[in-house]
Structures are given as structure tokens and as C-alpha cells.
Amino acid sequence: MCKIVKYKYMDLVFATNNQHKITEISSIIGDSIPILSLNDIKCFDEIPETGDTLEKNAVQKARYVFDRYGHNAFADDTGLEIEVLNGAPGVYTARFAGSKCSPADNIRKTLQVLSGETNRKARFRTVIACIIDNTEYLFQGSVGGAIAEEIMGEDGFGYDPIFIPDGYTQSFAQMPMSEKNSISHRGRATAEFLTFLRGFLK
């Protein structure tokens, strides 16, 4: 059991260049813990992401900021894990159809690989790694579902148009964002992370 040191004040760097993610998490966490961006700490580096698991990638990104910039930091990594593909594309989800592929390419490839397959079970999994005072903490959230037979809906991003979460008939791309966030892998991982962070504050 680790001992949690209580802080009166703590800021955290979110090791991502995705402004949308920073805005989203800041709005959830509120003012109690200011979330800094890479820009805020003048980090303009291309942070390496060379791990072969979501956990390794998330830790690698958070550790990069902690080691080089001296800030407590966190990072996330998400993968789509398809059962009949033994968990692929997993850590390679963003590049499933090739190194410079678009989300549409990834969707096309997924539908093609699963063509004629009846087991379409899949899950999204998000891992968040946080480094505070050189100690690593890991959190995760996942949502089970199925890969649709065809594109369903236009909203959302990434694989949203072909992912139908368990208990629903709509894809993520057909749901209001608030509904998706309430059941999503990222929403669940963030909730776990937040519970932990609150423990640090007096």
C-alpha cells in the first residue's frame, strides 16, 4: 500500500499535444489541480511513443516530462482490442492501416479484416500513467462492445462509427457526446484517476 503525501497545491502536466483532451480533463478536474499543457512548460519535443503496450507508452510519455522538465505529469494511451485478432490493433490502433493512415483507412481495414466474421467482440481500453514525486501510478478504463458490419453515424472520431458499446444498438458516432463520455473507456479511466488525485489534496 503506497503512502499518499498530501498537497496544498499541485499542478500536473498532461503530456499530450491534443488540446481537446486538455480542455476535457481540465473541465472535469476543476480548479483544484491546475492542468498544464506541454506548451505551458515550453516543451515542443516530439515525445517518443515506442512501447509495445498501452501501459509502456503512457508511462514513457509521462516519464519523459518528469525526467526532462521536472514536473509531475500524466499521459494516456488508448487501444482498440478485437477478440478474434487476439487483441490487435491494441497499441497500434492509430496506425492500424499504415503509418500515415487516416481514420477512414483504419475503419476500412477493420471492416475488411472482419469481413464474414461472426465474432465481432472488441473493447476500447485507456491507460493513464501518472508520475508524482518520481512514483508511477497506473489507471485504466475499458468499454466492451462489438464492431459493426458497416459504418453507422458520422459524429465522433477514430473508430466511433464502427464501435457499438455493449447494451446499445447505436454506435459511438450516433450517441450524444455526453452519453459516450459517461460509458467510455476514457471516461472510466479518468474517473479512476480523479478519485486518486482527490486523495492528494488536503
**What whole-number distance in Å separates Cα of residue 153 and Cα of residue 172?**
8
| Grid coordinates belonging to 64 | 519523459
Instruction: Give the C-alpha distances (Å, rounded to integers) separating 81 from 59, 68, 185.
Output: 20, 32, 12
Q: Which residue's C-beta sits nearest to ligand IMP?
A: 158
Q: Closest by alpha carbon to 58, among 73, 80, 37, 41?
A: 73
Residue 105 designated active-site: no
Exposed / middle / buried, residue 48 (Cβ in 10 Å: 0-12, 13-18, 19+): exposed
Residue 105 CB partners (closer than 8 Å, separation 6+): 97, 98
26 vs 200, beta carbon nearer ligand IMP: 26
Give min distance, CB of 25 to ligand IMP, in A.
12
Catalytically annotated residue among 11, 52, 67, 77: 77
34 vs 158, beta carbon nearer ligand IMP: 158
What is the CB neighbour count within 10 angstroms for residue 54? 23
Applying CB under 6 A, the residues found at the interface with ligand IMP are 77-78, 93-94, 103, 124, 156-160, 172, 184, 186
Give min distance, CB of 69 to ligand IMP, in A.
21
Give min distance, CB of 3 to ligand IMP, in A.
31
34 vs 153, beta carbon nearer ligand IMP: 153
**What whole-number distance in Å separates Cα of residue 161 and Cα of residue 170?**
9
Give min distance, CB of 93 to ligand IMP, in A.
4
66 vs 172, beta carbon nearer ligand IMP: 172
Q: Closest by alpha carbon to 115, among 150, 144, 82, 83?
A: 150
Could you give the residue numbers annotated as active site?
77
